């Protein structure tokens, strides 16, 4: 593929476009055919679903009417038989759509409603369609499901002998023990689907013809564009390759044709970049010529500087000897400072250790204070809960003690009844005395009644005495309990509040101590770190001074080496001068 010319590649592109277009057209025709078949299935399913939903809604509406009739029966407006009669009349006259009607059968198969014909009142449980299926048994069975059900069967239309497909929906109405149903012939669905399928096929053929026409036109246009582009690209490549050939031969005086430079496509960008490259290379060659002439001047200057460098090297040798003596004195001082820093480090470590122990103690104090504060708050909440519970129980007990007052009222009533009983007994005795021997038995009864009245009076007196004692005890109990509640709600709770404040203050003090010890510990750690830094620095100084002393010795040797290198630099500079002259000869072949 890399070795093919642009014209061949354009032809291949045209062929690929042709094949791709044909493939797209074929795929489109296949997809349209599949869509046509799928649309027919969707249309059939949609019509069947709409039909099922319609007859179901109609049956639900009919059941709603029957339910209103049954509610009138439940309100006592008429009897159950009357309600069934009214419901049957409503169903018989109820219609929907184009001749849609309803029927009703009992659970045993007795027809109740069917357009008012002679079938009403007969049992059609064993009725069969033209295929021998017991369709009524299926309709009643499906209707007794919780959501009702659908049944398909074959039945001749009115005035016809050949059976047609029919679909019914039924649902039970439990209060009357009826199954309400409706349905219709569904052969119109096949006719509707066939008509729609024919129309869709015509539209599909028209769409496929349009796609094929557009595909053919697209192929012709693509082929024409590819041929034009192949010719145009070939001409542009020839001009560009000729221009690049001149540059490779060192001729920078030639220019690209103006029509190629003025293009706005990739060849125009390539032409612009080639011109820019030519200008930059031309400038680079001119710069190399100028710099080559400058190299001679630089070589002379370098030679002079090398001679000056040799004199400076001798001065450096004397300075290094003085530097070595100073470094020996610095090494002795650093040993003394290091000894003092070691002593300070030991003291700082001891301070840091004691600070950490103090921080742990402060943390323990803070923990114990927090636990004591938590315990005190829980105890205070417990006391408050007990105080509330006792108060509620005491209030309930005092309310229950009010029964004693009712006993006093009942005692007073009994005393009044006793007085009336004594009066009746006295009157009975007087009447018995007037009656003589005939009233002697009555007199005995009157005497007994009077005795019972006296006994009741004595019992009531004792009850009143006990009631007064109970009332006094309850009042004393109420006063004592009130004092106890006041003590718990006041003094005890106040004591817990004071204890909570003390523990809180203790906790705050522990936090403060912990903070102080923490700061002290941090400071000691910083001091220890600083001392470690000093020790490390002193070690570094000692090492540096020792190395410096050694280095000064090396410097003297290096100065000798530097002088030798300076002589070598002089030789290299002379070689550089020769290279610059040769470079001038090489770039002389370029035409700018």
Q: Which residue has the tokens 């002393």?
A: 549
Residue 132 DSSP label: S
In the prediction, which pLDDT does 101 show? 95
Instruction: Please check whether residue 169 is in contact with residue 184, taking contact to mean a CB–CB distance below 8 angstroms.
Output: no
In the prediction, which pLDDT does 341 show? 67
CA distance 513 to 366: 9
At residue 448's C-alpha, the angle toward residues 446 and 452, to 5°, is 115
CA distance 111 to 540: 118
**Residue 100, domain CATH:** 3.30.450.20
Task: Tell me the pLDDT of the chain (592 aa) as tens digits.
Answer: 656 666 677 677 778 877 887 888 788 778 777 776 677 788 888 888 999 999 999 999 999 999 999 999 999 999 999 999 999 999 999 999 888 999 999 999 999 999 999 999 999 999 999 999 999 999 999 999 999 999 999 988 878 888 899 999 999 999 999 999 999 989 878 788 777 778 877 787 787 788 878 878 887 887 787 777 767 666 666 767 676 777 777 777 777 777 766 777 776 787 777 777 877 777 777 777 777 778 767 767 777 876 776 777 677 667 767 766 766 776 676 677 677 767 767 776 776 787 777 778 878 877 887 887 788 788 878 878 877 887 888 788 777 767 667 777 777 887 888 888 888 878 878 887 888 777 777 778 778 888 887 887 888 788 778 778 877 877 787 787 778 777 767 776 677 678 678 778 867 877 886 787 777 678 777 867 876 886 787 677 668 767 776 776 777 677 678 778 867 877 887 787 778 777 777 777 677 7
Kindly state whether residue 539 falls inside one of the protein's structural domains: no
Instruction: Please check whether residue 134 is in contact with residue 126, taking contact to mean a CB–CB distance below 8 angstroms.
Output: yes
Kindly state whether residue 233 falls inside one of the protein's structural domains: no
**Domain hosting residue 513, numbered range:** 349-529
Kindly state whether residue 501 falls inside one of the protein's structural domains: yes
Q: Give the residue from 186, 219, 252 where a domain finishes.
A: 219
In the prediction, which pLDDT does 466 show? 77
Q: Which residue has the tokens 């109420």?
A: 478
Kindly state whether residue 297 falls inside one of the protein's structural domains: no
CB atoms within 10 A of CB 43: 16
In the prediction, which pLDDT does 330 show? 67
CA distance 186 to 209: 36
Please tell me whether residues 189 and 51 are part of one structural domain: yes
In the prediction, which pLDDT does 92 show? 96
Please tell me whether residues 523 and 382 are part of one structural domain: yes
**Residue 412, domain CATH:** 1.10.287.950
CA distance 592 to 590: 6
Measured over the CA atoms of residue 30, residue 33, residue 39 and residue 42, the dihedral's sign is: negative
User: What angle do helix axes 403-435 and 440-487 make, rounded to 10 degrees?
Assistant: 170
In the prediction, which pLDDT does 324 show? 64
Please give the order of strands across the beta sheet that includes 163-173.
Answer: 111-114, 103-106, 178-185, 163-173, 149-156
Kindly state whether residue 88 falls inside one of the protein's structural domains: yes
- In total, how many domains does the chain have? 2
Kindly state whether residue 362 falls inside one of the protein's structural domains: yes
Q: Give the residue from 191, 219, 247 where a domain finishes.
A: 219
Kindly state whether residue 490 falls inside one of the protein's structural domains: yes
Instruction: Please check whether residue 222 is in contact with residue 14, taking contact to mean a CB–CB distance below 8 angstroms.
Output: yes
Q: Give the residue from 197, 219, 241 where a domain finishes.
A: 219
Kindly state whether residue 145 falls inside one of the protein's structural domains: yes
Tokens of residue 323, six digits? 């530097």
């Amino acid at each position: 593929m890399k070795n093919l010319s642009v014209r061949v590649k354009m032809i291949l592109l045209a062929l690929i476009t042709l094949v791709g277009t044909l493939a797209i057209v074929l795929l489109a025709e296949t997809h349209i055919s599949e869509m046509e078949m799928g649309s027919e299935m969707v249309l059939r399913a949609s019509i069947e679903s709409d039909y099922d939903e319609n007859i179901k809604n109609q049956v639900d509406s009919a059941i709603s009417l029957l339910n209103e009739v049954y509610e009138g029966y439940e309100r006592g407006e008429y009897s159950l038989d009357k309600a069934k009669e009214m419901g049957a009349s409503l169903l018989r006259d109820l219609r929907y759509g184009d001749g849609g009607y309803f029927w009703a059968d009992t659970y045993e198969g007795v027809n109740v409603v069917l357009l008012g014909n002679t079938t009403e009142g007969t049992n059609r449980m064993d009725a069969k369609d033209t295929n021998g299926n017991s369709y009524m048994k299926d309709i009643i069975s499906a209707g007794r499901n919780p959501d009702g059900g659908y049944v398909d069967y074959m039945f001749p239309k009115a005035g016809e002998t050949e059976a047609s497909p029919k679909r019914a929906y039924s649902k039970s109405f439990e209060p009357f023990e009826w199954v309400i149903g409706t349905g219709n012939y569904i052969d119109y669905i096949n006719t509707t689907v066939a008509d729609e399928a024919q129309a869709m096929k015509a539209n599909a053929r028209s769409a496929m013809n349009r796609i094929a026409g557009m595909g053919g036109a697209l192929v012709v246009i693509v082929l024409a564009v590819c041929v034009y582009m192949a010719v145009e690209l070939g001409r542009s490549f020839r001009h560009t390759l000729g221009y690049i050939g001149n540059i490779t031969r060192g001729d920078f005086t030639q220019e690209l044709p103006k029509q190629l430079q003025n293009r706005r496509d990739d060849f125009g960008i390539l032409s612009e970049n080639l011109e820019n490259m030519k200008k930059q290379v031309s400038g680079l060659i001119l710069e190399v010529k100028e710099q080559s002439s400058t190299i001679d001047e630089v070589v002379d200057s370098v030679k002079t500087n090398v001679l000056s460098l040799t004199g400076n090297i001798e001065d450096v040798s004397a300075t290094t000897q003085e530097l070595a003596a100073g470094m020996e004195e610095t090494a002795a001082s650093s040993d003394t400072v290091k000894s003092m820093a070691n002593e300070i480090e030991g003291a700082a470590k001891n301070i840091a250790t004691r600070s950490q122990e103090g921080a742990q103690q402060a943390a323990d104090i803070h923990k114990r204070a927090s636990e004591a504060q938590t315990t005190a708050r829980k105890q205070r909440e417990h006391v408050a809960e007990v105080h509330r519970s006792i108060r509620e129980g005491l209030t309930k007990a005092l309310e229950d003690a009010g029964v004693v007052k009712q006993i006093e009222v009942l005692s007073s009533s009994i005393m009044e009844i006793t007085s009336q009983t004594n009066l009746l007994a006295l009157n009975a005795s007087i009447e018995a005395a007037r009656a003589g021997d005939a009233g002697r038995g009555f007199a005995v009864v009157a005497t007994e009644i009077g005795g019972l009245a006296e006994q009741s009076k004595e019992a009531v007196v004792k009850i009143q005495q006990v009631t007064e004692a109970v009332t006094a005890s309850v009042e004393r109990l109420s006063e004592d309990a009130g004092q106890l509640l006041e003590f718990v709600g006041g003094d005890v709770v106040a004591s817990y509040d004071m204890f909570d404040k003390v523990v809180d203050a203790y906790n705050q003090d522990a936090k403060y101590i912990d903070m102080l010890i923490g700061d002290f510990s941090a400071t000691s750690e910083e001091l220890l770190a600083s001392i470690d830094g000093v020790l490390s620095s002193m070690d570094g100084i000692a090492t540096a001074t020792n190395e410096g002393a050694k280095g000064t010795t090396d410097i003297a040797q290096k100065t000798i080496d530097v002088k030798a290198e300076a002589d070598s630099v002089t030789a290299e500079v002379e070689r550089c001068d020769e290279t610059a002259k040769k470079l001038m000869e090489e770039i002389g072949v370029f035409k700018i």
